[in-house]
Amino acid sequence: MASVSQSESTWSGDRAFLAVEYNGYIMTSQPDVSPSIAEICASVKRLGYGVSQNIRLYGEEFEVISDPFPESGGIAVSVRTKQSDGIRVLHLPATVLQSVQGRRAA
């Protein structure tokens, strides 16, 4: 049976790394850290869903009048439609949020 000869934990930024020497090889493990809501909102904003942006979703043109914010388990923005001056909350599609999380994982 193989034995572990040395272990060391280090912190780098907001993630912990565990390096273990195992039969002469270094094995590392990196915990899956989900991005915070603030990080997701910032990434969504960088995709063009920030204040004063014009977007087309669900077959309609919108002017974004707020930065992204958490809403009912997802991310939303306040928008004004091109046809009316009324303001409404628009939930962003899951594909937008998945693309943000996919970019962070890469």
Shared domain for 20 and 64, answered yes or no, is no
The string of pLDDT tens digits covering residues 46-101 is 999 999 999 998 888 999 999 999 999 899 999 998 788 789 999 999 998 888 87
Burial class of residue 100 (count of CB atoms within 10 Å of its CB; 0-12, 13-18, 19+): buried
DSSP bridge partners of 56:
61
**Quick check: 43 pLDDT over 50?**
yes
**pTM higher than the cut 0.75:** no
Shared domain for 65 and 98, answered yes or no, is yes
Domain that holds residue 7: 1-33
Shared domain for 28 and 41, answered yes or no, is no
Rounded Cα–Cα distance for residues 70 and 97 (Å):
12
What's the structural domain count of the chain? 2
Would you give the distance in Å from CA 3 to the centre of its chain?
39
> Residue 83: what pLDDT?
81
Rounded Cα–Cα distance for residues 25 and 59 (Å):
55
